[in-house]
Amino acid sequence: MKNLLMLLAVLFVFSHGRAQVYSTSSGTIKFFSKTTAENIDATNNQVKAALDAKTGNLEFAVSINSFLFKKALMQKHFQENYLESEKFPKSTFKGSITDNAAVKYVTDGTYPVSVKGKLTMHGVTKDVVIPGKVTVSGSKAVLSTDFNVLLEDYNIKIPANNASQIAKSIKVSVDCSLQKKK
């Protein structure tokens, strides 16, 4: 009986120790376009993200209609004309942290990482490699990065009359605080 209890205790610890999944449905992605005519920025605070700390596998899902702009007309043009949110309602990323073994999920700290995967936006999927960082604090892992997206890479067309108002390369910032699932 004593051996059975010991075996059950070991199995319980082992099975719970393997699953280190962090997730959120309230992450933040911002983008910024700077031109001499006008700066454009938007924020989405409804980003879904999940990270398997054991494997480094990482997924993001972003509803295009959840981006908020300071000007309603910009938001309408973004959703209807540029990102065509009725046709392409979300953007996704699926990949992994390439140097995941360097992240100590049980030790608080900030760890520089590289993420490799597939970014899908506007119906186009591209292989990407993005530098970032993972900040571990207790039962949270904060994923953050800044990178640029070329609009032409994702077949996002800007009408000629608006070309001077929107940059060809958009800065994307990610800040997602993921909570460890119990």
What mean pLDDT is predicted for residues 147-162?
Answer: 89
Q: How many domains does the chain have?
A: 1
DSSP state, 83? Answer: S
Q: Domain range holding 151?
A: 23-104+122-180
Query: Is 8 among the domain residues?
Result: no
Q: Name the amino acid, one letter, at 64.
A: I
Residue in this structure with the two tokens 């800040």, named with its chain if needed: 175
Query: Is 9 among the domain residues?
Result: no
Instruction: Supply the pLDDT for residue 79.
Output: 87
Which CATH number does the domain housing residue 70 bear? 2.40.128.110
Bridge partners of residue 52, in order along the sequence: 21
Query: Is 10 among the domain residues?
Result: no
pTM for the structure as a whole: 0.85
Rounded distance, CA 161 to CA 159, Å?
5
